[in-house]
Structures are given as C-alpha cells and as structure tokens.
Amino acid sequence: MANNFEGHIDHSGNGSIFGWARMVEEPKTRLHVKLSLSNGWTKTILANDLREDLAKAGIGDGRYGFHTKVPYRIASRGEIKVSCQTIEGDFKLEKSGRRLELEYPISLVAGDITNNCNLRCPFCVTDYALVKGMKSMSDDVFSKAAKLLPLVPDGMFWLSCMHEASVHPNLMGLIESVPPSLRKKISFTTNLCKKMDDEMLKALASSNIHSIRISIDSMDPERFAALRKGGRLETFLDNLSRLSSFMIQNEEAPKIRYISMVFENNVHEMPALIQKCKDILPAGVHEIRFIFYQPHIAKWGQKNLLSSKKWNAMKDRIQTSLGMDHVEFFDPLPDTHKSFEQAKDADTYRPSPAVFGGTCSPTNYRIADPITNQAVIPDEPLSFRLRWDGLISHEKIPENDFLHYVQNLSPEYFIKLREASQIGRHSDWQREPLEMPRT
C-alpha cells in the first residue's frame, strides 16, 4: 500500500514547513498529512492545491503541497525535528526527521540614528514643526542596539526610517564598529542631498552593508528643489554618479533600491526618471510610491494628489515602455483619496516633538513591559521603532503596553518576549504527551 504514496518535506526553515504528498494511482485524491514535532506538538493538514503559495517560495509546483507556520513559543526551546506521515495509509514522507529552523524573532528594527533631516519635503509623513536642532545617536547607544543584529534578517536593521542618516556626524564610524559578518543586517534610506566627499562615498561602497535606499522624485532642477525642499539636483546627481563609480569597483557593494513618490506635477517624468537612475547606478528595485496621508500634509496633498485614473495610466505606461523587471508599485491605501479630500483629523491635529515617545527621554520615560503587564503580544516576528536616544517601541503594541530603553535590554529579553506571544485560541497545533522511554 505504501508504494501508492509519495511525498517529502521540501523545506523546514524560517519557522515554516513546506512539503507535498499524493496518491500515485489516485491523483485527484487529496491526502491528510500529520506533522509531528519532536517536542510533542502535532498538527494535521490537507495536502491541497497550493501552487501559488509554493511557487512564491520557489518550491515545486505546489499541486499537492502543504504549508504551515509553527508558533515561535512551540519551536523555540531546544533542537526540534519534523516528521510527516499521511493519515491515509500511514506513509512516512521522505526527509522526515529534518530539523526545524526558527524564524528570526525580530522582523525589523526601524531605527533612526538622528532626530532630524536636511530637507523639508512637503509630503513627508514626519512633522518637523517642533523638532529643534540636530541630535545624534551616541556610540554607546548604538553598540547596545547593535547587539540585536543577529536577531533580524539581512537588511532589516535600519539606520534611518523617519529621518536622514547621512547627517549623522559619524555614520561610517557606527557602521564600521559592526563586525563585518553582521553588516549585511544593516540598511538605510537617504535623500543623497548632503554633499559627500570621495572618502565617504568610497567607504559606503565598500561597507558591506546590505542595501541603500535612495529617494529621488524628479530630474527637473526646479521641481526637484520644490519636492525635496532644501536639496539641489546638481548635488544629488554628483553624489550618485561618484557613488556609482566606486560601487562598480566593489563586488560586495550594497544593493541599491530607489524610491520615487508620484504627484500631479511629476507623474509625466516617471518613465524617464526610472531609466535615468538605471543608467547612472542600476538598482535591484525601483519603488514607485503613492503619497501617504497625514493630517499635517492634508492641504499640500489636496493640491498635488494624483487621481487613481492617472496613477493607473502611469503604471500601464511604465510597464509598456520599461517592463516590470525591477519596478515595484506601492498603490494608494484604500482610504487615501478620501482622507485627503476630507482633511481627516486636520482640525484636531497637534504636532509632537518626536515620532513616538513625545517628550519622554531615557531618563524620565515610564517603562511599559508587556511581559510584566500581560499585554497581548502578536504571534509573529517582532517589529520595533528605535529612536536616536535609545527609546524603543513596538509597531503593533501601544506605547502604554511597550516602551523601553534599549540600554536596559539584552538580546535574551527579545527572545523571551517572542516566546510570550499568544499561540491563539484557534491554533491547529495540539500538544500530545511525549512517549515515555521504555524500561
């Protein structure tokens, strides 16, 4: 009977189990597969048609595929092995007994090593109305935050999220303080509008960090100056051209990713802008983004917002003229047009001196610890915002449930935080008693 079955576990990394199983002589029959972890947890899953999901993962055609995630708190203790067998016929799938690799406990540290920016773009989601002066992350705070690098995937420890990294007086010093083996974890976004000397650009090109995201919205000098207020196209292109020449000389140079915001006054530029960037310094991806709504930019957005019709026409034009091999579109969120039209919350909006934490500082903030106060922790990789001064918040947990100072936390704390996440009432995983050793 077993000869009538075939299948194996394809992949058991990043907290996921992928595989396939089928009956050779009855291809229309879908098999139920029992997944068993060596620590006593089991789950039964149908090997159904998962072609689209598995194709995205690069695993087979998925016609008889199955896929499941293992909750972190189930798989985090000790070495866990995975075995699978069909319910029908008790056929043990090939490669049963392979090790389950844990996913990274932190999916993203969206950090900022400064509190300010050299530009004042009118569409920026950060409101700088109450931000005074330039403050920079110290070496001590960075060294403590850098201990989280092994806990995140490559490219997911950001040196900039809401502000500009290049204005930090010791950007390269911070990067070079990280062991070379961990620098692939690092990436950052820059407007590339600060004049950089050759030494700085050479250091970036040979830094071995994962990637640099470069913002550029126009190749017209006047329009560039209006959209990137405080910046000059001449400086941007000079920096970009010299960076390109240094990167060509280095096989380990960071990946490049462009980001372009599209409005009524620059939409016609997009095909040519994408091509120009590609000619100067080729990128793996060029993102074309729609504006995000925030109350403080409501009035500007009302005058410059692109209609859905023009947005879609632009996408068609780019696809026809340039193809889609390295272009990604970030469509408007469902309520974006309506929010701008209504100027949502603009009347009651009040600026804050910081993106999170308000007037708090590491010396006066109130610790909010979800492990202590039993707040709900999502059963998914943790995602954090990190401020220049070391305050850290969670993107999906309210600040009154999670607010900490990174100097007071160890990497082990974040493992414990992940292990405390909710498995969920409706989880299909069940705990079975471990088999007692024979005497």
Least confident of 46-50, 334-338, 371-375: 46-50
What is the percent of the chain where pLDDT is above 90? 73
Asked whether residue 214 is domain-assigned, the answer is yes
| 93 and 111 housed in the same domain | no
| 342 and 272 housed in the same domain | yes
Asked whether residue 218 is domain-assigned, the answer is yes
| 307 and 183 housed in the same domain | yes
| 19 and 140 housed in the same domain | no
| 329 and 232 housed in the same domain | yes
Q: What is the pLDDT of residue 350?
A: 95
| 239 and 322 housed in the same domain | yes
Q: How many domains does the chain have?
A: 2
Q: What is the pLDDT of residue 439?
A: 35
Res. 436 pLDDT band, cuts 50 70 90: very low
| 215 and 291 housed in the same domain | yes
Res. 438 pLDDT band, cuts 50 70 90: very low
Q: What is the pLDDT of residue 2?
A: 56
- pLDDT tens-digit profile of 293-307? 999 999 999 999 999
Provide long-range contacts, Cβ within 8 A and 24+ apart, for 284-287: 284/211, 284/255, 284/256, 284/257, 284/326, 285/257, 285/258, 285/326, 285/327, 285/328, 286/257, 286/258, 286/260, 286/326, 286/327, 286/328, 287/257, 287/258, 287/259, 287/260, 287/328, 287/329, 287/330
What is the percent of the chain where pLDDT is above 70? 93
DSSP string over 331-346:
PPPTTHHHHHHHTTTT
Asked whether residue 411 is domain-assigned, the answer is no
Buried b (16+ CB within 10 A) or exposed e, 100-118: bebbbbbbbbbbbbbbbbb
pLDDT > 70? residue 196: yes
Asked whether residue 431 is domain-assigned, the answer is no
Residue 318: φ, ψ to 5°: -65, -45
Please state, rounded to an integer, the average pLDDT across all residues of the chain: 91
- pLDDT tens-digit profile of 228-286? 999 999 999 999 999 999 999 888 899 999 999 999 999 999 999 999 999 999 999 99
Higher-pLDDT residue of 422, 191: 191
Select from 52, 87, 103 the last residue of a domain: 103
| 189 and 233 housed in the same domain | yes
Q: What is the pLDDT of residue 437?
A: 40
- Which residues, in sequence order, are bridge partners of residue 156? none
Mean pLDDT within 138-166: 97
Least confident of 56-60, 76-80, 188-192, 373-377: 56-60
Res. 379 pLDDT band, cuts 50 70 90: confident
Give the number of other Cβ atoms within 10 Å of residue 223's Cβ.
16
pLDDT > 70? residue 319: yes
| 173 and 57 housed in the same domain | no
| 91 and 164 housed in the same domain | no
Task: Return d(Cα 223, Cα 220) in angstroms, integer.
Answer: 5
Task: Return d(Cα 313, Cα 233) in angstroms, integer.
Answer: 27
Higher-pLDDT residue of 27, 135: 135
Q: What is the pLDDT of residue 367?
A: 94
Residue 112 in tokens: 């900022």
| 95 and 205 housed in the same domain | no
Residue 236 in tokens: 């941007």
Q: What is the pLDDT of residue 251?
A: 86
Tell me the residue type at 156: M
Least confident of 214-218, 219-223, 229-233, 418-422: 418-422
SS3 174: helix
Asked whether residue 306 is domain-assigned, the answer is yes
Cα torsion angle, 21, 23, 29, 32, sign: negative
- Please name the helix (run of DSSP H) or strand (run of DSSP E) that holds residue 276, with its range, or none: helix 270-280
In sequence order, which residues have a C-beta less than 8 Å from that of residue 361 and are 6 or more positions away? 389, 391
Least confident of 78-92, 120-134, 289-303, 388-402: 78-92
Q: What is the pLDDT of residue 175?
A: 98
| 83 and 122 housed in the same domain | no
Domain of residue 69 covers 2-103
- Please name the helix (run of DSSP H) or strand (run of DSSP E) that holds residue 385, with its range, or none: strand 382-386
Q: What is the pLDDT of residue 27?
A: 84
Least confident of 53-57, 93-97, 348-352: 53-57
- How far are the Cα atoms of 200, 284, 311, 324, 328 from residue 288, in angstroms, in the given order? 28, 13, 10, 12, 6
Task: Return d(Cα 355, Cα 130) in angstroms, integer.
Answer: 11
Select from 349, 379, 405 the last residue of a domain: 349
Select from 103, 123, 149 the last residue of a domain: 103
Asked whether residue 436 is domain-assigned, the answer is no
